[in-house]
């Protein structure tokens, strides 16, 4: 009937990310958690697809259509991501440590910086 826009994959994504990124089980669990953090706090504004996502739409105006989706962007350094996620920037507001802990933030940063090819496989 209606296609859910936000598809919560956290509970089935682990194995795919594990094989795709060639990391150990502990690391995979963190990435799995990171995917859930992404779904709860970022995806609604930053998923690929300029039209439906306010962050992606805004960055397509202020950066470029190529830089509009933030997942996979290697120019976003961990330091910059840390800063933006805590302090926010204009429309994008900061996130509290009660929402995203320091550990979760580090995992999220790794997740965002995973090359897109890997992510595309993980997304199937």
Partner 1 sequence: MANLVPEGLTADVFNQAVAEMRAVVGKQWVFAEDQAALRSYRAAYGATPDEAHLPSAAVAPDGVEEIQAILKIANDYRVPLWTISTGRNFAYGGPAPRKAGYVVLDLKRMNRIIEVNEELAYALVEPGVSYFQLYEHLQKTGSKLWIDPAAPGWGGPLGNTLDHGGGYTPYGAHMLMQCGMEVILADGTVVRTGQGALPNSDNWQTVPYNFGPYVDGLFTQSNYGIVTKMGFWLMPEPPGFMPFMVTFPKQDQLHDLVEILRPFKLNLIPHNGAIMADLIWEASTKATRRQYYSGKGPIPPSARRKIAEDHQIGEWNLYAAFYGPEPLNKLQWEPLEAALRTLPGIEIYYEGDRKGDPTWDYRRDLMRGIPNMTEFSLMNWIGGGGHINFSPICTPYGAEAMKSWAMIRDRANEFGFDYIGEFAIGWRELIQVLMLMFDRTDASQRDAAYNLFNTLIEDFAKEGYGEYRTHLDFMDQVAQTYDWNDHALLSLQERLKDGLDPNGILSPGKQGIWPEHMREPR
The binding site for partner 1 (CB under 8 A) comprises 1-2, 4-6, 8, 10-11, 39-41, 44-45, 51-55, 57-58, 61-62, 83, 86-99
Which span (6-14, 16-24, 58-66, 113-121) binds ligand HEC, by CB under 6 A? 58-66
Q: Shortest Cβ distance from residue 60 to partner 1 (Å)?
A: 10
Q: Nearer to ligand HEC by C-beta: 1 or 90?
A: 90
Cα–Cα dist 36/42, whole Å: 10
């Amino acid at each position: 009937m209606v296609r859910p826009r936000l598809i919560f994959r956290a509970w089935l994504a682990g194995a795919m990310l594990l094989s795709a990124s060639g990391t150990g089980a502990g690391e995979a669990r963190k990435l799995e958690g990171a995917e859930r953090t992404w779904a709860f706090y970022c995806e609604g504004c930053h998923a690929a697809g300029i039209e439906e996502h306010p962050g992606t739409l805004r960055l397509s105006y202020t950066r470029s259509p190529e830089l509009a989706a933030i997942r996979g962007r290697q120019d976003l350094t961990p330091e910059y991501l840390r800063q933006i996620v805590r302090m926010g920037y204009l429309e994008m507001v900061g996130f509290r440590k009660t929402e995203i802990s320091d550990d979760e933030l580090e995992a999220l940063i790794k997740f965002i910086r995973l090359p897109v090819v890997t992510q595309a496989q993980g997304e199937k």
